[in-house]
Amino acid sequence: MPTYKILFVGLGKMGFHMAGHLSKNKNFKLFVFNRTKSVELKWKKKFIAESYNFKNDIKFDFIISCLKDDHAVNSFFNMFVRNLNFHKNSIIIDHSTISLNQINILSRLCNQRKLKFLDAPITGGEEGAKKGLLSVMIGGTKSNFNKSKRILSSYSKSITHMGKLGSGQLTKFTNQILICGILYSISEAYLFSKKNKLDQKKIFNAIKNGAANSWQFTNRYPTLTKNKFNFGFSTELMTKDLKYVLQQAKKNNLNLNLTKSVFKKYKSLQNTIYKKYDTSSLIKSFNDQ
């Protein structure tokens, strides 16, 4: 008999693979739900789980969501949390990157229903989700964190308890500040080296094992130089994330000049074809590229 009954909501670029990893564990009885049913059917051609509908009278042990933004998460919680069956140990794990204001709204809703809740944003990209090598940063009680580690380890290599609710999101915001700064510097480095007619393959080989290396440089510099940008996490999602970062920075009276600059550049791409392309397409916002 399966140990846990799990519902996974949101089969996007990340959730598609995360739910896939859960489906392979015989100790889990997995149910999936995706608003776009064609995506759900595509997932079920590769993996095994039951589709969830509100006619299922199931008390889930874990409800896991991986959704786009505040609006999507709010819709999910209002629709599912008010209608699902729970027991006293049910835990909701939300892997979405959302605002601190949304965390407060969800926290109040979960308290009303006497539900346990973890905010658990992820990083590692689509490739990390495919390989089960995501990093998860978690806000919530230590007890709920410990109870959830077995589930989270199905698709994660790093699981860190950051503190109270909201601290998971704040850690993800910090992560996004770092990434956007690295991508900005990669863009400028590419423009500089190209202007000075340096061989890009030699540039990459000279730098990749030195102090300036990073995951972004190793994985995105070679593709950027080939004008290829179809590699996962989109500029649309980064724009959304940086908006949440800057909202929180304003509350903190912090003036994050670099983050503001990169946010404006990503925002300028949102009415172009690069809206759906990966974050290294930031280079396309530079006038001299």
Domain boundaries of the chain, sorted by first residue? 4-163, 170-285
Widest distance between CA atoms in the chain? 66
Percent of the chain exceeding pLDDT 90 equals 88
Residue 111 tokens, joined? 């308290």
Percent of the chain exceeding pLDDT 70 equals 99
The reply to whether 4-163 and 170-285 are identical in fold is no
Q: What is the CATH number of domain 170-285?
A: 1.10.1040.10
Between CA 66 and CA 164 the distance in angstroms is: 20
Q: What is the pLDDT of residue 288?
A: 65
- Give pLDDT tens digits for 12-65: 999 999 999 999 999 999 999 999 999 999 999 999 999 998 777 889 999 999
- Give pLDDT tens digits for 169-188: 999 999 999 999 999 999 99
Q: Is 257 exposed, middle or buried (0-12, 13-18, 19+ CB in 10 A)?
A: exposed
* Statement: residue 1 has pLDDT above 70: no
Q: How far is CA 135 from CA 73, 129, 153, in A?
A: 20, 9, 10
HEC readout, 175-189: HHHHHHHHHHHHHHH
Instruction: Give the closest residue to 234 by CA, choosing from 167, 284, 174, 169.
Output: 284
Arithmetic mean of pLDDT over the chain: 95
Confidence of residue 87 (pLDDT cuts 50, 70, 90): confident
Q: What is the pLDDT of residue 53?
A: 84
Under 8 Å between Cβ of 143 and 192: no
* Across 81-109, average pLDDT: 91
Between CA 252 and CA 245 the distance in angstroms is: 11
* Statement: residue 224 has pLDDT above 90: yes
* Statement: residue 289 has pLDDT above 70: no
Between CA 251 and CA 171 the distance in angstroms is: 16
Q: What is the pLDDT of residue 63?
A: 95
Q: What is the CATH number of domain 4-163?
A: 3.40.50.720
* Across 233-252, average pLDDT: 97
